[in-house]
Structure 1
Amino acid sequence: MSRPETLAELVDWAAERHAGRVAMRWPAGADWRERSYAELAEEVHAVARGLVAAGVRPGDRVGLLCETRPEWTVFDLAVARVGAVCVPVYPTNSAEECAWVLSDSGARLLFAETAAHAATIAGVRDRLPELATVVTLEPAGTELTLAELVDRGRAASSPALPEAARVPDDPATIVYTSGTTGPPKGCVLTHRNWRCSLDAIERVTTLGEGDTVYLYLPLAHLFARMVQLTTFELGATLVYFGGDISDVVAELGRVRPTHLPSVPRLFEKAYGLVTGRAAAAGVPIERVRELVRAALGGRVREALTGAAPIAKEILEFFAECGVPIYEAYGMTESTAVISANAPGAVRFGTVGRPLPGIEVRIAEDGEVLARGDNVFAGYHDDPAATREAIVDGWLHTGDLGELDADGYLTITGRKKDIIITAGGKNLTPANLENDLRQSRWIAHAVMLGDRRPFPVALITLDPEEVLPWARERGLPEDLGELAGHPDVRALVQEVLDTANARYAPPERIRDFAVLGTEFSVDGGELTPSLKMRRAVVREKYADVVDALYAAHAGKF
Structure 2
Amino acid sequence: MRASTETAATRPPATIASLLSLAAADYPDAPALRHKVGERWLDESYAELEVAVRELSLGLVDLGLEPGDRAAIVAETRPEWTHADLAILSAGLVSVSVYPTNSADECSYVLGHSEARVAFVEDDEQLAKVLAITEQLPPLEWIVVMAPSGPAAQALSIEDLRARGRGRDQAEWSARIAAVDPDDPCAFIYTSGTTGPPKGCVLTHRNLQAMTDMATEHGLIEEGEVVYLFLPLAHAFALIVQFLVLSLGGTIAYWERDRTKIVPNLAEVRPTTFPSVPRVFEKAHATVLARVRAEGGARERIFFWALGVGRRVSALEREGRRPGALLRARHALADHLALRKVRGVFGDRLRKCVSGAAPIPIEVLEFFHACGVKVLDMYGLTETAPGVAANQPHRFRFGSVGTPFPRMEVRFADDGELLVRGPNVFEGYYKDEQATRAALVDGWLHTGDLGSLDGEGFLHITGRKKDIIVTAGGKNVAPSKLESGLRESRWVSEALVVGDHRPYLVALVTLDAEQTPAFAEQHGLDVAELAASEPMRAEVQRAIDAVNAGVGRVEQIKRFLILPGDMTQEGGELTPTLKVRRGAVADKYMPELERLYDG
Is TM-score (shorter-chain normalized) higher than 0.5? Answer: yes
With the length of structure 1 as denominator, give the TM-score of the two structures: 0.96
1:5 is paired with a residue whose SS is coil
Letter matched to residue 444 of structure 2:
W
Which deviates more from structure 2 when the two are superposed, residues 390-399 or residues 237-246?
Answer: 237-246
In structure 1, which of residues 334, 352, 377 is the aligned counterpart of residue 427 of structure 2?
377
1:435-493 per-position Cα deviation (integer Å, ceiling 9, x unaligned): 111111211111011121111001111222221122022111x2x31000011101111
1:154 aligned partner: 166
2:582 aligned partner: 534
CA contact under 8 A between 1:432 and 1:499: conserved in structure 2?
A: yes
1:415-437 per-position Cα deviation (integer Å, ceiling 9, x unaligned): 11011112221111011111111
1:493-532 per-position Cα deviation (integer Å, ceiling 9, x unaligned): 1111111011111110000001121122222222222211
CA contact under 8 A between 2:215 and 2:221: conserved in structure 1?
A: no
**Is residue 223 of structure 1 aligned with residue 234 of structure 2?**
no
1:344-390 per-position Cα deviation (integer Å, ceiling 9, x unaligned): 21110010111111011111111111100010000001111001001
Letter matched to residue 160 of structure 1:
E
In structure 2, which of residues 349, 362, 385 is the aligned counterpart of residue 299 of structure 1?
349
- Measured after TM superposition, the shift of residue 29 of structure 1 is 0.8
**Is residue 29 of structure 1 aligned with residue 38 of structure 2?**
yes
2:139 is paired with a residue whose SS is coil
Change (3 A) 1:456 1:42: same
- Measured after TM superposition, the shift of residue 314 of structure 1 is 0.4
**Is residue 464 of structure 1 aligned with residue 507 of structure 2?**
no
In structure 2, which of residues 540, 545, 551 is the aligned counterpart of residue 497 of structure 1?
545
2:177 aligned partner: 164
1:420 aligned partner: 470
- Measured after TM superposition, the shift of residue 148 of structure 1 is 1.1
For the residues of structure 1 that align with 2:477 and 2:491, how far apart are their CA atoms?
25
In structure 2, which of residues 95, 98, 104 is the aligned counterpart of residue 89 of structure 1?
98
Alignment of 1:117-132 (within 5 A): 117-132=126-141
Alignment of 1:307-326 (within 5 A): 307-326=357-376
For the residues of structure 2 that align with 1:534 and 1:204, how far apart are their CA atoms?
34
Alignment of 1:181-220 (within 5 A): 181-205=195-219, 207-220=221-234
For the residues of structure 1 that align with 2:485 and 2:259, how far apart are their CA atoms?
21
CA contact under 8 A between 1:360 and 1:370: conserved in structure 2?
A: yes
1:554 aligned partner: none
5+ residue gaps, structure 1: 552-556
For the residues of structure 2 that align with 1:213 and 1:171, how far apart are their CA atoms?
27
- Measured after TM superposition, the shift of residue 142 of structure 1 is 2.2
- Measured after TM superposition, the shift of residue 159 of structure 1 is 8.5
Change (3 A) 1:307 1:243: farther
Which deviates more from structure 2 when the two are superposed, residues 315-324 or residues 156-165?
Answer: 156-165
In structure 2, which of residues 138, 149, 152 is the aligned counterpart of residue 140 of structure 1?
152
For the residues of structure 2 that align with 1:63 and 1:447, how far apart are their CA atoms?
36
2:502 aligned partner: 452
For the residues of structure 1 that align with 2:440 and 2:577, how far apart are their CA atoms?
24
1:104 aligned partner: 113
For the residues of structure 2 that align with 1:247 and 1:525, how far apart are their CA atoms?
26
For the residues of structure 1 that align with 2:282 and 2:206, how far apart are their CA atoms?
35
Change (3 A) 1:314 1:406: same
1:545 aligned partner: 593
For the residues of structure 2 that align with 1:534 and 1:119, how far apart are their CA atoms?
31
- Measured after TM superposition, the shift of residue 207 of structure 1 is 3.2
1:125-169 per-position Cα deviation (integer Å, ceiling 9, x unaligned): 111111111111214332111111122223358983234121111
CA contact under 8 A between 1:264 and 1:305: conserved in structure 2?
A: yes
**Identity score, percent:** 48
1:235 is paired with a residue whose SS is coil
CA contact under 8 A between 2:390 and 2:401: conserved in structure 1?
A: yes
Letter matched to residue 269 of structure 2:
V
RMSD: 1.5
For the residues of structure 2 that align with 1:326 and 1:275, how far apart are their CA atoms?
21
2:557 is paired with a residue whose SS is coil
**Is residue 435 of structure 1 aligned with residue 471 of structure 2?**
no
Matched residue count: 549
1:281 aligned partner: 295
- Measured after TM superposition, the shift of residue 413 of structure 1 is 0.6
- Measured after TM superposition, the shift of residue 288 of structure 1 is 3.3
2:218 is paired with a residue whose SS is coil
- Measured after TM superposition, the shift of residue 208 of structure 1 is 3.3
Change (3 A) 1:8 1:436: same
Which deviates more from structure 2 when the two are superposed, residues 237-246 or residues 9-18?
Answer: 237-246
Letter matched to residue 141 of structure 1:
A
- Measured after TM superposition, the shift of residue 205 of structure 1 is 2.1
With the length of structure 2 as denominator, give the TM-score of the two structures: 0.89
Q: Which has the higher helix share?
A: 2
In structure 1, which of residues 336, 356, 363 is the aligned counterpart of residue 386 of structure 2?
336
- Measured after TM superposition, the shift of residue 206 of structure 1 is 6.0
1:232-264 per-position Cα deviation (integer Å, ceiling 9, x unaligned): 001111000144433321211111111000001
1:510 is paired with a residue whose SS is strand
2:525 is paired with a residue whose SS is coil
For the residues of structure 1 that align with 2:289 and 2:498, how far apart are their CA atoms?
28
CA contact under 8 A between 1:414 and 1:428: conserved in structure 2?
A: yes
For the residues of structure 2 that align with 1:427 and 1:492, how far apart are their CA atoms?
21
- Measured after TM superposition, the shift of residue 214 of structure 1 is 0.3
5+ residue gaps, structure 2: 1-5, 307-336
**Is residue 391 of structure 1 aligned with residue 441 of structure 2?**
yes
For the residues of structure 2 that align with 1:158 and 1:204, how far apart are their CA atoms?
36
For the residues of structure 1 that align with 2:79 and 2:169, how far apart are their CA atoms?
29
For the residues of structure 2 that align with 1:140 and 1:396, how far apart are their CA atoms?
46
In structure 2, which of residues 401, 405, 408 is the aligned counterpart of residue 355 of structure 1?
405
- Measured after TM superposition, the shift of residue 209 of structure 1 is 4.0
CA contact under 8 A between 2:408 and 2:423: conserved in structure 1?
A: yes
For the residues of structure 1 that align with 2:258 and 2:464, how far apart are their CA atoms?
28
| Moved beyond 6 Å, runs of 4+ | none
2:291 is paired with a residue whose SS is helix
For the residues of structure 1 that align with 2:394 and 2:171, how far apart are their CA atoms?
49
1:176-226 per-position Cα deviation (integer Å, ceiling 9, x unaligned): 111111000000000110121111110122633442100011111110111
For the residues of structure 1 that align with 2:48 and 2:145, how far apart are their CA atoms?
22
Letter matched to residue 490 of structure 2:
R
CA contact under 8 A between 1:61 and 1:86: conserved in structure 2?
A: yes
- Measured after TM superposition, the shift of residue 50 of structure 1 is 0.4
For the residues of structure 2 that align with 1:527 and 1:371, how far apart are their CA atoms?
27
For the residues of structure 1 that align with 2:169 and 2:15, how far apart are their CA atoms?
28
Letter matched to residue 423 of structure 1:
G
1:317 is paired with a residue whose SS is helix
